[in-house]
C-alpha cells in the first residue's frame, strides 16, 4: 500500500449547530426535543413548505424549459427583486449590484473573499456573541476576526453604549458585521434610532458595514425589519448586505441567498460586480437555479407576494406566541429566575442564560438539544414539548 496522507489527521470537532442535528438523530429517546438548528417548525413539528412556494413550483414545472447554467451572478430578475425586498420598490438601484448565492452562508463567504482578496481588507469585527459560524467563514476567507461589545452583562439587553464605544475604536478600513434583525444568537436588536447612530458611527470611523440579514420578516415584518438598512442607504456610503431566503421562504435546502454591494456610484458598482464574480467563479462557478427561480416567481407576482407575506406573518406570530407561553409556563412553576426578557427578544432564537453545564445536563438527562451558548430555537417549540422543556429547565437551574 502507498503511504497515507490522510491517516495522521485527527477527527474534526462536530459543528456547534449542525453537529447537534446528527447527535439528535442518533438519540434513541422517543421523547427527544430538537431546539438546536434555526429551522421553523409548525405545531405538529414539521418544517412546512410554504403554499406560495408550492404554487410557484407548479408554475415553474409548466414554464421552465432549460436547466442550462445561470450567469455567475445568478438570475437577473432575482437580483432586482432582492434589492426591492431589501430597500423598497422606489430605490435607486444604480449604485448597487446583487449576486445570487448558495444561501446566506454562501453570500458571507463570497463577501469575505471579495473583501480580503479584491478590496484588501484584513479584519472583520463580530458582535459578542455572534452566530457560531461567522468566525470560521471569515477566517476561511483569510480575514482576521475580532469582536465588539453587544450583549450587556445581564445577558438580556443590548449594551448600546459598549457597542458604540467599540465601534468608535475600530480602525478605519476594517469591516464590521452587523445583524439587521433577530440577532443570532441573542434575539436582541438595536432600535431604529440606534441603527441611525450605528450607521453614522461607521461612516465617521471609515468602517465598512457588512450586514447579515437572514431573518427578514421574523422580527416585526418584511418592511419593518428592513428599516435597519435605511440609515446606511441614506448616508450614501458603501456597505454590503448578505441576505437569505432560507428562513422566510422556508427554502433551507434549496440554498437561496444574495450578496448586495452598495457603492457610491454606478461606475464603482460595476467594478465591484466584476470582482465579486471572480470570487464566485473560483468558488462554486455559478449558483444553483431552482430556489432563486421560486423566489423570483413569488416576488414577481402581486398575489403570490401577498400570500408569502401572510405566511411569514403567521410564522412570526406563532413564535411570538410561544415566547409568551414559555414565560407564562415558567411563572406558573414559580421559577426563581425571571425569564420575562424572552418575550422582548425577536426572531427564532432566545438566549436563555443557561450555562454550558446546564445545556449538557438538558441533553444527557432529558434528550433536549440546544446550542452550547444557551441559545434555544423557540421556533422548535409546540404545545406538546413546551411543558417538558420548562420542567427540565427547572431541574437543571
Residues that bind ligand LMR (CB under 6 A): 17, 37-38, 131, 133, 184
Shortest approach of ligand LMR to residue 15 CB, angstroms?
A: 8
Asked if residue 179 lies in contact with residue 212, where contact means CB atoms within 8 angstroms, the answer is yes
Positive or negative: CA dihedral 300, 301, 307, 313 = positive
Reported as type and span, the H/E element at residue 124 is strand 123-128
Residue 118: active-site member: no
Cβ-contact 389, 33 below 8 angstroms: yes
Residue whose Cβ sits closest to ligand LMR: 38
CB of 303 to ligand LMR, least distance (A): 30
Closer to ligand LMR by Cβ: residue 95 or 287:
287
User: In whole angstroms, how close is the CB of 112 to ligand LMR at the nearest point?
Assistant: 16
Contact 349, 378 (CB under 8 A): yes
The whole-angstrom separation of Cα 26 and Cα 234 is: 50
Q: Which of 41, 116, 247, 277 is catalytic?
A: 247
Residue 212 is a catalytic residue? yes
User: Residue 242: which residues within 8 A CB-CB, separation 6 or more?
Assistant: 101, 104, 107, 108, 111, 210, 211, 212, 213, 214, 257, 258, 259
Q: Looking at beta carbons only, is 184 or 352 nearer to ligand LMR?
A: 184
Distances (CA, A) of 34 to 20, 93, 131, 178: 8, 41, 18, 27
What SS3 class is residue 229?
helix
Q: How many CB atoms lie within 10 A of CB 120?
A: 8
C-beta closer to ligand LMR: residue 112 or 231: 112
Pick the closer one to ligand LMR by CB: 15 or 77. 15
Which of 41, 73, 113, 131 is labelled catalytic?
Answer: 131
Active site residue 247: yes
> Whose Cβ is closer to ligand LMR: residue 37's or residue 176's?
37
Which CB sits closer to ligand LMR, 362 or 379?
A: 379
Cell numbers found for residue 197: 447612530
Write out the DSSP string of 265-283: SHHHHHHHHHHHHHHHHTT
Q: How far is the CB of 18 from ligand LMR (least distance, A)?
A: 6
Contact between 21 and 36 (Cβ < 8 Å): yes
Question: Shortest gap between Cβ of 37 and ligand LMR (angstroms)?
Answer: 4
User: How far apart (Å, rounded) are the C-alpha atoms in residues 365 and 391?
Assistant: 12
Question: Least Å distance between CB 6 and ligand LMR?
Answer: 27
Active site residues: 131, 212, 247
Amino acid at each position: 500500500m502507498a503511504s497515507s496522507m490522510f491517516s495522521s489527521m485527527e477527527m474534526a470537532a462536530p459543528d456547534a449547530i449542525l453537529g447537534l442535528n446528527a447527535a439528535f438523530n442518533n438519540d434513541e429517546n422517543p421523547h427527544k426535543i430538537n431546539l438546536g438548528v434555526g429551522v421553523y417548525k409548525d405545531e405538529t413539528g414539521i418544517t412546512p413548505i410554504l403554499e406560495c412556494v408550492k404554487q410557484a413550483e407548479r408554475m415553474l414545472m409548466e414554464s421552465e424549459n432549460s436547466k442550462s447554467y445561470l450567469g455567475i451572478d445568478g438570475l437577473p430578475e432575482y437580483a432586482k427583486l432582492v434589492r426591492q425586498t431589501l430597500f423598497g420598490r422606489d430605490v435607486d438601484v444604480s449604485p448597487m449590484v446583487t449576486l445570487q448565492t448558495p444561501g446566506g452562508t454562501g453570500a458571507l463567504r463570497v463577501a469575505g473573499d471579495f473583501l480580503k482578496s479584491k478590496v484588501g481588507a484584513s479584519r472583520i469585527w463580530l458582535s459578542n456573541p455572534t452566530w457560531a459560524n461567522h468566525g470560521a467563514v471569515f477566517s476561511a476567507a483569510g480575514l482576521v476576526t475580532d469582536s465588539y461589545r453587544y450583549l450587556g452583562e445581564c445577558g438580556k439587553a443590548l449594551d448600546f453604549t459598549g457597542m458604540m464605544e467599540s465601534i468608535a475604536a475600530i480602525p478605519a478600513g476594517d469591516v464590521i458585521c452587523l445583524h439587521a434583525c433577530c440577532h443570532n444568537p441573542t434575539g436582541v436588536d438595536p432600535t431604529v434610532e440606534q441603527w441611525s447612530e450605528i450607521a453614522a458611527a461607521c461612516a465617521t470611523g471609515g468602517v465598512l458595514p457588512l450586514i447579515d440579514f437572514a431573518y427578514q420578516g421574523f422580527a416585526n415584518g418584511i418592511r419593518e425589519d428592513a428599516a435597519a438598512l435605511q440609515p446606511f442607504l441614506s448616508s450614501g456610503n458603501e456597505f454590503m448586505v448578505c441576505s437569505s431566503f432560507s428562513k422566510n421562504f422556508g427554502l433551507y435546502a434549496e440554498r437561496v441567498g444574495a450578496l448586495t454591494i452598495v457603492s457610491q456610484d454606478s461606475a464603482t458598482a460595476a467594478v465591484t460586480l466584476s470582482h465579486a464574480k471572480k470570487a464566485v467563479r473560483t468558488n462554486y462557478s455559478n449558483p444553483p437555479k431552482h430556489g432563486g427561480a421560486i423566489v423570483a416567481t413569488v416576488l414577481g407576482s402581486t398575489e403570490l407576494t401577498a400570500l408569502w407575506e401572510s405566511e411569514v406573518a403567521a410564522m412570526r406570530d406563532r413564535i411570538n406566541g410561544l415566547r409568551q407561553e414559555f414565560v407564562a409556563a415558567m411563572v406558573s412553576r414559580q421559577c426563581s429566575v425571571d425569564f420575562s426578557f424572552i418575550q422582548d427578544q425577536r426572531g427564532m432564537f432566545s438566549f436563555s442564560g443557561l450555562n454550558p453545564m446546564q445545556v449538557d445536563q438538558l441533553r444527557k438527562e432529558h434528550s433536549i438539544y440546544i446550542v452550547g451558548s444557551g441559545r434555544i430555537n423557540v421556533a422548535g417549540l409546540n404545545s406538546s414539548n413546551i411543558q417538558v422543556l420548562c420542567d427540565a429547565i427547572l431541574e437543571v437551574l
